[in-house]
Every structure is written in C-alpha cells, then in structure tokens.
Structure 1
Amino acid sequence: MGKQYLQISCLLLGIIIIFTVTGCAVSKNGSRTAATRLPDPPQSENKYYYFTAAQFQLLNENIDNAVFYLKMAIQNDPESSFLKKELVFIYLQQNNYEDALVFIDQLLVKNPDDIEALILKGNIYMYLDQKDKAKTIYEKVIALDPQKKNVYLFLGSIYLDENENRKALEVYQKLVKNFPNAYTGYFFLGKTYERLKQYPDAEREFKKALYIEPMLVEPRYELLNMYKNNQVQTVGPLRKGKQEPNKEKITELYQEILELYPNDTRANMELALYCHKTGEKKKAQEIFDWLADRSLSDPDIAGKIIYLFIDQKKFDDALILLNGILKKIPDDSDMNHLTGAAYDGINNIDKALFHFSKVKDNSKFFENATIYLAYIYKNQNQPDKAIQSLEKAIQRIPDNPEFYFYLGYFYEDFQEYQKAESVLKKGLEIMPESSRLHFRLGVVYDKRGEKNLSIEQMKKVIGIDPEDAHALNYLGYTYLDLNINLGEAEQLIRKAMEIEPKDGYITDSLGWLLFKKGQIQEALTALEQAITLVPDDPIILEHIGDVHTSINNREKAIEFYKKALIKKEKDTETLLEKIKKLSHGND
C-alpha cells in the first residue's frame, strides 16, 4: 500500500510492547550474540567505569557482558535507581522477567511511588497475563499521576478483556477528560459503549475520534458495522417501496476509506459484498474484477479472505466474493483453494472437491489442497481415493515430507501398518530429523505390538525435540503399560504435564501413574479432570472405572465401563468381561 494509514489497534499494540522505554541500547533486531569471555575485572571501583563498559558491550551486542558490568556498577553504588533501571531494561529485552522484577521490587522498596518502576512492573504482569496484579498497579499509577496517558489504555484494555465494561467506561472517560485530543480514548469509549449496546453514544465517540484524526479507518469500520446491523439508523432512499436504512451512510464511509487508501483490501471486499447484497451486481463485479487482477501479484488479497471470512466462518460471504473473483480468473489456484475451503465449510462436498482439484502443484496452497482432498475422501468413506490423491501428489512433488506423513497416517488409520511403515520411512529419507514422522512411525510400531521399536522412535523424537510433550507422554505411558522403568515414566509424564497442563491425554497418563502408585484419590481427581478435557474418551472412561473397581465402588465402575463401551468401536471384550464380573458381584 502506497501510504500507511493510522491504525488504532496497531498503535495500542505498539504501546503494549511494554518495554520500548528509554534505556540501554540493544541491537535493532533484538538478537543476542554469543557472549565473549569476560575480561578480568579492573582494580578500579569506579561505578562510571563499569557503566561505560556496559554501554560498550551493548554496542557490540554482548548482552551478558553488559549485565555483568552493570551488576558491578550497582555493587559500587547499591542505592542508584538509575543503574538498576538500566539493568531492568536489559533484562526486559532478554525476556528475563523474573530478574527484572527482583530489581524493580528493590526500586519500589526504596520509593514505593516510583512511577516508572510501577509502570514497568504493571507491564510485566500484563505480559505474564497476571491481570489482577497489573490492574492494581495501574490504578495506583493513575491515582499518583493522572497524566500517564498510556496507563489508561492498559487499564481499560484489562477491564474490557474481563467484560467489566462500566469500569472500562470510567477509565476511558477519565482519559479523554485529561487528554481531550486523545483519539484513542474516544475510539475505545466508542467500543465500550458498543459493548454496552449504547449505540448512539458509540456513534458519537467514533465520530469524535475521526474529527481529531481524520486518517483513521478503525472508527469507520466500527460505524459501518453498526449501520449495517441497523444498531443506529438513518433512513436512506426508497428501494422497491421500502426504506433501506443507512445505505447512504454506509456507501459514504466506504468511499471515504477508499479516497484515503484506494488499495485498502478490506474496504474493497466489503463494499463489493455490500453492493452485491443490495442489488448493485454490476458495481460489485467491477470490484471483484479489480480484486482478481490484484490477487495475481498481491498475496494480501488471499490473506484477507482467509482472515476476514474463512477464519471467521463467514463462508457465505466468502463464496460471494470468491465466485465473483473466479469469473475473471477461473483457473487461479489460490482462489480455487480458498473456494474449496469455503464450500467445505458449508459441507458442499462436491463443489469443495471440484475446486480443490483445480489447485496446481506450483501453488503455495497445493499441499493444503491435497490434504483437504484426502480428508474429504476419507470422511466420505472413500479410502482408495484418499490414498490415490496423496500418491499422485507424491508423484508430482516427491520431496515433500508432509505428503508421506499424511499417507502414512492414512495407511495407519486403515490398519495397513506395513504400508504405513514403508511410507513413513521414505519420508524420513527426505527429512531424517522430522519429529512428526518419527512419532507417527512409533505409533505404527506400537499398534503392531512392536513396543521396543516404538520406544526407540519416541526416544528419537525426544532427542530431536526435548519439549515434545506428546512424545514424552507416549513414552512414559508405554513404560507404565509395560510396568517397566516406572521412575523414568513418572519423570516423563510430569515433564509432559508441565509443558501441556491442559492436555487431557497427558492428564490421563498422570492419573494412571498415580493409580499405579496407589494414590487412589489423587488418581481419581486427575482422571476426572482428564475426562473434562477429552469428553467421552473410552480409555479415560475405562481408567476411571478401574479406579472405582479398586475401591469396591461397583456401581460407579459399571457406569463408567458402560460409557466406555458405548464409545469404544473395537476390542470391547475386556470391557464386557469387567462389566460381567462386577454385575455378578465377584471380586
């Protein structure tokens, strides 16, 4: 786009990039070079020497050395707030919030009303998603100094996130009272009134933001949404004997945006849709054609369709737009892929298949389109076509490991384990360090009963990525299942839980581990948590039944075994035997 328009969302994001505060300089890209060996500390105990040395190290991007010298300076002058703040700024550039908080707290012990230190601390809590703590600090800052404009924005955003709209309203009202020309304040006042369904008030505040800063687009889009939803009405010209609310205002706002920014993708798309829906099909098609021409050289067109429509599940609007564009460029791979995704979203399988099949192998969407096709065929109980689509893709692009991954996964799902193994190994020839391919191969070996080979593959995954929670869990659960290496199994599962604490399958493994250790109540708590995370999973349900069986809670055990039986598609003999045994009252 030729000229950059002002974006409030970007502005606020920029403000909340909380550590762009005056301090020691670091490299522009935030990179951190390997620290060189520190020279022996000089005999001088001059804090100015150490501070200067820290600055020199920063200029050479030796961040660790700079930290060392600043700490030496602080040792020489432990009361210096300036030096401590300089060190805090470096820690923040390193994302070292723990050490930054230590020095901020030292500053606040010395001066509890240090505004800059308070803001830094609040911003860290904001970044760490500890919003209650951030809120308390921001409220204190405003009470101490009502002229800290950005703090109002931070505090207001917390209240909006927590749906405390009345409190957000109070904050933004204070902001514009203290800063009458703060267009961001009026914009967020409008957003807050919108939340409160006080639409005329919202309209007023958005217009104030535009009066102060006419180049903004966000207030215009907010007004457009309200006008299109008839939340604020002005009667337009008659159409077919009926009054069409807000048409003139809607058209006028889109024209304003496009006068300022003629290539604004969103405005052009929304205007085309609006014209199409209000019967101005010719004008709509003119814009569709313009978008089609631009899409050939501008990836933002496809990106905006994904972001504004497909990701938001606005499939009907996406299809109006895409079908309009395809009238001009019917064989375009990118647009056909997006059209296939939109048709898949409304479950029009035939049209989805048609458009996915038109995606050429030189398109950046070819991989996605192929996988889409394969999954559609699989879900349509056409496994042969699913396999064929992936095999054809491999013939066309034989060095794409993703095709081998999915082909292997489908063979595995169809219980053709020998073929799955062969395909996954071919993928590993292309990408030997692919943790996904090794993991899948390990699962195939496990399903074939080759536990040692499965363990070997999971170890390879962990060797490639020590933080792969699913491999850690799989290996740990395998050890539990085999009743071997139980100490290591516990370490693996607990590490997996630290990485993915909300994963139901990992939580199930933890519950099963606790059960094996005889910690029955803790096991039951973990397994009940697991079933809330993965509702109706038959293995977890069976595990809960097993725990209830161990404490002679037969009715509960039978209840969970029966639930597991309903959900389990095969290998139900063990469950049936458990239910039979408990039903007859045997131990």
Structure 2
Amino acid sequence: MINYQKKYWVFIIISFILIQCTSNSSKKNTNNNIEEQTTLKQAITYYADGNYNESVKLLKILENQNSINPEVYFYLALNYYDLKNLDISEVYCLKSLKLNPNQAKVYSELSAINFNKKNFSKAEEYAIEAIKNDPKNGNSYINYSSTLAMLGKKEESEKQLYEAAKVDPESILNLANTYLMQHKNPKAALYLLFILNKLYDSDPIVLLNIGNILRMINDREKAIEYLKKAYDVTDKNHNMFKIIYSSYFRTLLNNKKYDEIVNNALEKFVDSSSYFFLALAYFKQKNNGKFIEYANKYFELRNEKKPESLIKWAEDQFNSN
C-alpha cells in the first residue's frame, strides 16, 4: 500500500526548499544588479569628468565579473577612445554590439574610430548602420559627412550636414562651438552656422552666434546685420534676450553707430545696460546733458556709487575695449 500522506509531506518540504533557494538566488541577483548599476554610474561620472583611468578601473571590475550589460563595454570603448587607444576601443564597441546589435551610438563610435584610423570605407559603413538604427541622431550624420568628405564626395557630405541640422540642430551647434573654441577655426564654425541659418532663419541663438563670430573676424557690418536680426526676432522675455541685447548694442557702440543706439536702446527693453549704452553714445556725441542724465540713471539703477569723474569713467569704458 502506497503511503500518499508521507509522499505529500515530502513534496511540501522539497517545494519549500526550492522556493527558498530561488528566493535567495533572486535576492542575490538583485543585490548584484544594484551593485553593478552603482559601479557603472560612478564609472560614467568619472568618464564625464575626464577621469578616464579611474573609469576604466571600475568598468574592468564589472568586465571581470562577466557583466552582460552592453553599457559597460560601450563606456570602456569611450574611455579608450579618449585615451587614444583606438584598437582597444574598437574591440569593446564590437563586444557591446554582440550583447545588443541595435545600438546606434556604438555604430557611430565605430565610425569615428575608423575615421581616425583612416579606414574610411569602414567608417562609412558604420555611419550608415548608425543612421539606420537611429535616424534622429545628428552625430551619426556628422560622422557620415566627415567620411564622405574624405572619400571626395563633397556634395553628398554637405547633404548629410543638412540632414543632421534637420533632425538634430543642436549637434551642428555643438560642432560649430567645437570648431570655434577647441580648433580656433571661426570660418568652419560659420559654415555650419550658415547651414542652420538656412533652415532656421529666425532662430535667435543661431543669429547671435553668427553675429558674434563675424564680429570676432572683424566683419563688422555683417555682424551688426545678424545681431540686429537676432534682436528684432527675440521677445524681451526670452531667456537669451539680455545677452542678445548686450551683444547688439555693444557692437553698435564699438562701431560708432551712436545714432542707432540713441534711437533704439529703449525701444524694447529698459534696464541698467540700456542707460549704460545711451550714456556712452551721448558722450561720444558730445551731448553732456544727456550723457550725465543717463550715466546717473545707470549707477542709480545698479545701486552703485557714482565715480568722482563721469568723463573719466566713460573714457575708461572705451579704452578697455
């Protein structure tokens, strides 16, 4: 006779043991995942701060634990790229793609790596894959454009820059800033900004940047033209208006456009900077009464002590430019 009751209790005991083991395993996996995410987050912070070696140390710990998170290998690739070790960077990009083959950012990185290794055909292939996986990532179009230019396909290269500007205008703005600040190449920056201007002809930030770069390269009349456009299209409540206002009227002042300052400084906006530009414009026009009136208003509004000699103060403003 079979003892069903005995078997029943044995089954319950075994089931309880299995549940406990599964629960413990689940808790362990959860804890491991939390630890991995914490380590990865710190590694990403190190990378963002430019501490590439510290970032690599943490990511290597995760690699040695056989992490299956593609982000681990992608950030290893980024670190090694910035450490100028392109071959290892490429290895980690490919490792990341094995874990997730649909990562546009990794294909884009591979395109940049191969571009710098002068493997332009491979760079082109990876750029196309990046665009396929994320058609709205401007950097992929920029990488594609750079590669096409090196392959002698100039028209197609420019077309890809326009595509980048359409889907992700900030990527072109960032590239223009890189050319200006890091590479000291204002003409390249202007080329990119004019692409944006053709697509977004009333964007105040684009107009402001064009105007300021034109001023930098001493194309003064053109600078005033673009800064005036920025001033005209920007509402006084826009968060960039004060910067645009100051850039425009400072450029007018530096280029002796005193009548334009007198006629327009109070048109859309009034604060201490309005009185500053008016005071200096009237000073240059030798209208002492208006100069003193607006200089006094300037210091009063700023709650600053007026200098003993307003004339010397005005002269100092021009001498400092």
TM-score for the superposition, normalised by structure 2: 0.58
CA change 1:427–1:322 in 2 (3 A) is farther
Unaligned stretches of 5+ in structure 2? 1-30, 148-156, 284-290, 311-315
1:407 aligned to 241, 248, 251, which one?
248
Structure 2 partner of 1:253: 95
1:89-238 counterparts in 2 under 5 A? 182-184=35-37, 186-187=39-40, 202=58, 204-207=60-63, 211=67, 214-215=68-69, 217=71, 219-228=72-81
Task: Tell me how far apart the structure 2 counterparts of residues 200 and 482 of structure 1 sit (CA, whole Å).
Answer: 60
CA change 1:416–1:399 in 2 (3 A) is same
1:319-330 counterparts in 2 under 5 A? 320=143, 323=146, 326-328=158-160, 330=162
CA change 1:477–1:256 in 2 (3 A) is farther
What is the deviation of 1:389? 2.3
What is the deviation of 1:320? 4.2
Q: How many percent of aligned residue pairs carry the same amino acid? A: 9
Which one-letter code corresponds to 1:206 in the other structure? L
Task: Tell me how far apart the structure 2 counterparts of residues 383 and 215 of structure 1 sit (CA, whole Å).
Answer: 53
2:262 aligned to 421, 424, 447, which one?
421
Deviations 1:198-229 (A, max 9, x none): 89964541225663xx3462x32342245446
Q: Is the 8 A contact 1:337 1:365 kept in 2?
A: no
CA change 1:204–1:441 in 2 (3 A) is closer
Structure 2 partner of 1:98: none
1:351 aligned to 183, 188, 198, which one?
188
CA change 1:441–1:322 in 2 (3 A) is farther
Structure 1 partner of 2:223: 386
Q: Is the 8 A contact 1:442 1:454 kept in 2?
A: yes
CA change 1:351–1:441 in 2 (3 A) is same
Q: Is the 8 A contact 2:275 2:294 kept in 1?
A: yes
Structure 2 partner of 1:510: none
Which one-letter code corresponds to 2:185 in the other structure? N
Q: Is the 8 A contact 1:412 1:444 kept in 2?
A: yes
Q: Is the 8 A contact 2:176 2:190 kept in 1?
A: yes
Q: Is the 8 A contact 1:408 1:420 kept in 2?
A: yes
Structure 2 partner of 1:270: 109
CA change 1:367–1:256 in 2 (3 A) is farther
Which one-letter code corresponds to 1:382 in the other structure? D
Task: Tell me how far apart the structure 1 counterparts of residues 54 and 190 of structure 2 sit (CA, whole Å).
Answer: 45
Which one-letter code corresponds to 2:61 in the other structure? E
Structure 2 partner of 1:368: 205
Task: Tell me how far apart the structure 1 counterparts of residues 98 and 177 of structure 2 sit (CA, whole Å).
Answer: 32
User: Helix, strand or coil: the match of 1:223?
Assistant: helix
User: Helix, strand or coil: the match of 1:357?
Assistant: helix
Task: Tell me how far apart the structure 2 counterparts of residues 200 and 399 of structure 1 sit (CA, whole Å).
Answer: 47
User: Helix, strand or coil: the match of 2:267?
Assistant: helix
Deviations 1:132-173 (A, max 9, x none): xxxxxxxxxxxxxxxxxxxxxxxxxxxxxxxxxxxxxxxxxx
Structure 2 partner of 1:440: 273
CA change 1:391–1:477 in 2 (3 A) is same
CA change 1:266–1:248 in 2 (3 A) is closer
Task: Tell me how far apart the structure 2 counterparts of residues 364 and 453 of structure 1 sit (CA, whole Å).
Answer: 35
CA change 1:398–1:371 in 2 (3 A) is closer
CA change 1:195–1:363 in 2 (3 A) is closer
CA change 1:229–1:251 in 2 (3 A) is same
* CA RMSD, Structure 1 to Structure 2 (Å): 4.6
CA change 1:362–1:282 in 2 (3 A) is closer
Task: Tell me how far apart the structure 1 counterparts of residues 125 and 304 of structure 2 sit (CA, whole Å).
Answer: 62
Q: Is the 8 A contact 1:190 1:205 kept in 2?
A: no
CA change 1:189–1:387 in 2 (3 A) is closer
Task: Tell me how far apart the structure 1 counterparts of residues 174 and 51 of structure 2 sit (CA, whole Å).
Answer: 32
Structure 1 partner of 2:214: 377
Task: Tell me how far apart the structure 1 counterparts of residues 212 and 178 of structure 2 sit (CA, whole Å).
Answer: 15
CA change 1:195–1:408 in 2 (3 A) is closer
Deviations 1:484-520 (A, max 9, x none): xxxxxxxxxxxxxxxxxxxxxxxxxxxxxxxxxxxxx
Q: Is the 8 A contact 2:265 2:274 kept in 1?
A: yes
1:512-527 counterparts in 2 under 5 A? none
What is the deviation of 1:340? 3.5
TM-score for the superposition, normalised by structure 1: 0.35
What is the deviation of 1:384? 1.3
Count of residue correspondences: 252
Task: Tell me how far apart the structure 2 counterparts of residues 569 and 455 of structure 1 sit (CA, whole Å).
Answer: 18
Q: Is the 8 A contact 1:411 1:419 kept in 2?
A: yes
CA change 1:394–1:569 in 2 (3 A) is closer
What is the deviation of 1:445? 3.4
User: Helix, strand or coil: the match of 2:188?
Assistant: helix
What is the deviation of 1:391? 3.6
Deviations 1:404-450 (A, max 9, x none): 5532221123343332232322222xxxxxxxx52321211342453
Structure 1 partner of 2:22: none
Which one-letter code corresponds to 2:213 in the other structure? I
User: Helix, strand or coil: the match of 1:426?
Assistant: coil
Which one-letter code corresponds to 1:476 in the other structure? E
Structure 1 partner of 2:7: none
Q: Is the 8 A contact 2:214 2:222 kept in 1?
A: yes
Deviations 1:358-388 (A, max 9, x none): 3247639832221122112212222112112
